[in-house]
Structure 1
Amino acid sequence: MKDRTRRDLVNILVADMVEKYGRAPPMDRRTQYALGLVTLFPSLRDPYSKNGYVLQDFELLFGAETSSKLLEKWGTLLKARVIEQAKNLSRTPQLDYLIQCAEENPDEDGEVPGWDSDMASLLLLVYLLPPPPSGKKGTVKISIREAVDHVVKFHKSCRSLQEHSGPDKRKQPYILAVGTTRNRIHEYYIVLDGELLPCKARSSLSAFDELFKAHYVFGISYDQALNTMYTFVQTTIYNIDVGLSHETPRVKDLRAKLLN
């Protein structure tokens, strides 16, 4: 099946589902549509998900065009502009480290010491859209550095993964990047409710794409510390519920700076 045909098929299904069940169809209906899609067209089955359709579920919610927004926009439009905006912030060693990684500037030994360029530039969004200040109702103040840890954690490939699983782990999803170093990652997982879901992704950008989509597929609210960042990704990158979701002035200001 050609990409254009696949997109048309998914869009037809989305239109039918929205007409029958509204903009936010029940989970069982989304699952029913996704299962039907991969049953009729096995080549669309996702081999890395338990049932073959997690990613299909997101496409059924928003369509193939919306589903591909991050991968299409980041490298060609937003990444360089995010890096430039980050350079205008008050500099700290951790911020400088991420900017260096994002620009792929090597250290004295000729290697970039941390995350790859895509992951580092995505994490710069947390600096540009930091956690809410203390005193806001229902929020717990954490540092930007701690908030970054709520997006992705590095796991040395020689160690057991069990430390990230179990019923006592926090519910909001994050990426677990497994490898020998932060810029040599072999596999990615989404950690959700103490469960490790293998990512289809083989790149950090695709892993973040799956992390964002997991919120919608599993009906999970954004992490409080990352709410502003995720709202920006939702409205500005994926164009989901633009004008309907609450956006802080920071989100609107950053969008204007990046897109104008």
Structure 2
Amino acid sequence: MLVKVQYQGVKKFVKFPSDRTFQDFLNDVKSKFGLARTAALQVFDDTDTNVEEDIFHELIEGSPHLCLTVRCPEEDITVGLSDEFSPTRSSTPSTCTDTLSLSSTDHEETERAVQNQAAMVSNSFSIDAEKAKRTVRDALEKKSGGEEVLEEYQTTKTLKHSTRRQLVNIVVSHMTEIHGRIPTRKQRETYALGIISLFPSLKDPFSAKGYEHFYDPEKGTGFISWRLKTLSRKNPKRVRLEMTESAGPSRRRRIDDVQQLEGDACREAISFLVHTADEAEVMQKMKETFKHRQELVHNPERSADVLDVFPRFLDVKGLINQDFALLFNAETSNMLLKRWETAFKQKIINEAKTLTSTAEMRSLLNAAGGQGSENGRKKTKISPTEAVDRLVRFHKSCTSIEGLLSGREGHQPFLLGSGRIKGRIDHFYVAVDKRLIPCSGTSSLSAFDELFKVHYVFNLSYEESLVNFFTFLQTTVYNIDVGLSSESPRVRELHAKL
């Protein structure tokens, strides 16, 4: 499909195959008009209505001859200011914003005027939190089921998953009745702000505005957007949330306060590691070659060789914990073991009890409560039992372990518990590339701690179907790359509850 696009009066066609995403379209537009890759663009139709991700495909398929206009959020401010304060301004769209042409004598005075006017313009687009709060309360008081939402929050100071869904359904119904089937970005933001203003404990403390899990204006995601898509009876391919290059296991991190070997000394240490039987020496030499190992795992052509170059991961316990602590610090490394029992475990169990009750959910809750369970098992959305199976497998100690490893699909790391029965595990291992790294701890919690850390030590992406689960632990428990990682609305909702 060809989409006609206009930028600063220049019109061009942009190719847009049906399997491409809204973000792909924006990237193609930037390339076509020579804009910076980091430029933030907004799309408008011929009535100057903001076109957002959730209705983009439907709009261009229904109006193939439509000419879309793209602008930058900064453009309306900076271009207008340039016209007022500059005798001339460039019209070349080499970047997303125009610059001011100022004489040196008037520079300071003009800069202050620009800042003041920009501030006034910015304030004119701000949303009144108190007004937004009244809007949401009005919706709940008028709609069936709204009083139940208010009463539950009044009693518990939070909302169950099902009640939160009811809240979103009510406010979206109210929104579309007043503003039509495709409300604007500001209208969606108003309701999202109104929700966290009326229900403060639902605010996400880890996000910039606190309401991005209800509506994220930059990405067009959130519970409100999801509900609007459902109402439009559109079933687009779901966009998979991925870690950006600037966050998560793949992020390159500075290594400063660690004395490292280089050149021949590093090569000698690696050779020494293969032969020494002294575990204290192994720990020390592994520490001194940490930087070299990080270069190795971040090299796409050599990352798979790390266990061949450093085979002591396979027989010396504690090396995963040591590398992770060197990558971050001891405090971050101890986060899960330090905080799980006191800060998270019971709250997560209580949250799980509010979800739809199924046999497998009850089994997992029984196991979490210490009552045990003998039930332990390729799609993106998976059941709780399947999720557990992606994380940990049981190996009966009297049977062959090679068969279990060779028959395992996928390449992401997982835990292997070995023992006579599931209720009594003797040893835990992290399985990586069909090889076993012994866990230093004997509890399931400490073993899972090492499973999480392996992703960072070896630069391994999270299992696709468990991205949201691992991202939740990464940001909420370990406090790693908070604000840099892509998080689903459900993850952000849990931030607020926990």
1:54 aligns with 2:283: no
Please name the residue that 1:194 is paired with. 434
Residue in structure 2 matching 1:113, options 373, 382, 388: 373
Using CA pairs under 8 Å that are at least 6 residues apart, name the structure with larger relative contact order, 1 or 2. 1
Please name the residue that 2:411 is paired with. 171
Return the letter of the residue paired with 1:242. V
1:69 CA drift (Å): 0.1
Please name the residue that 2:455 is paired with. 215
Please name the residue that 2:363 is paired with. 97
1:160 aligns with 2:420: no
Q: Quick one: distance in 1 between partners of 2:283 and 2:437?
A: 23
1:70 aligns with 2:336: yes
1:168 CA drift (Å): 7.5
Q: Quick one: distance in 2 between partners of 1:113 and 1:164?
A: 21
Give the RMSD, CA atoms, in angstroms. 3.5
* Deviation string, structure 1 residues 180-233 (Cα, Å, up to 9, x no partner): 222200001111111111111210000000000000001000000100000000
Q: Quick one: distance in 2 between partners of 1:58 and 1:198?
A: 16
Return the letter of the residue paired with 2:489. P
Contact 2:361–2:384 (Cα < 8 Å) also in 1: no
Contact 1:169–1:194 (Cα < 8 Å) also in 2: no
Please name the residue that 2:424 is paired with. 184
* Deviation string, structure 1 residues 66-98 (Cα, Å, up to 9, x no partner): 000000010111001111000000001111011
Contact 1:201–1:207 (Cα < 8 Å) also in 2: yes
Q: Quick one: distance in 2 between partners of 1:83 and 1:190?
A: 25
Question: What's the TM-score once normalised by structure 1's chain length?
Answer: 0.69
Contact 1:152–1:177 (Cα < 8 Å) also in 2: yes
Q: Quick one: distance in 1 between partners of 2:418 and 2:411?
A: 20
Q: Secondary structure of 1:58's match?
A: helix
Q: Secondary structure of 2:426's match?
A: strand
1:150 aligns with 2:387: no
1:228 aligns with 2:455: no
Cα 1:169/1:65, change in 2 over 3 Å: same
Would you say how many aligned residue pairs link Structure 1 and Structure 2? Answer: 206
Contact 1:170–1:193 (Cα < 8 Å) also in 2: no
1:49 CA drift (Å): 5.3
Q: Which residues in structure 2 correspond to 1:127-138 (within 5 Å)?
A: none
Contact 2:415–2:430 (Cα < 8 Å) also in 1: yes
Residue in structure 1 matching 2:482, options 237, 242, 247: 242
Contact 2:337–2:445 (Cα < 8 Å) also in 1: yes
Cα 1:25/1:50, change in 2 over 3 Å: farther
Q: Secondary structure of 1:184's match?
A: coil
Please name the residue that 2:235 is paired with. none
Cα 1:158/1:168, change in 2 over 3 Å: closer
Cα 1:30/1:194, change in 2 over 3 Å: farther
Q: Quick one: distance in 1 between partners of 2:439 and 2:331?
A: 21
Q: Quick one: distance in 2 between partners of 1:60 and 1:181?
A: 36
Return the letter of the residue paired with 2:356. S
Q: Secondary structure of 1:221's match?
A: coil
Return the letter of the residue paired with 1:63. N
Please name the residue that 1:24 is paired with. 253
Contact 1:235–1:241 (Cα < 8 Å) also in 2: yes
Cα 1:220/1:156, change in 2 over 3 Å: same
1:114 CA drift (Å): 4.3
Q: Which structure: larger Rg?
A: 2
Return the letter of the residue paired with 2:322. Q
Q: Quick one: distance in 2 between partners of 1:167 and 1:103?
A: 31
Return the letter of the residue paired with 1:113. S
Cα 1:94/1:168, change in 2 over 3 Å: closer
Q: Secondary structure of 1:196's match?
A: strand
Cα 1:143/1:168, change in 2 over 3 Å: closer
Return the letter of the residue paired with 2:461. S
1:145 CA drift (Å): 2.2
1:252 aligns with 2:470: no
Q: Quick one: distance in 2 between partners of 1:147 and 1:80?
A: 20
Cα 1:158/1:204, change in 2 over 3 Å: same
Gaps of 5+ in 1: 1-21, 106-111, 121-133
Contact 1:165–1:196 (Cα < 8 Å) also in 2: no
Q: Quick one: distance in 2 between partners of 1:167 and 1:93?
A: 27
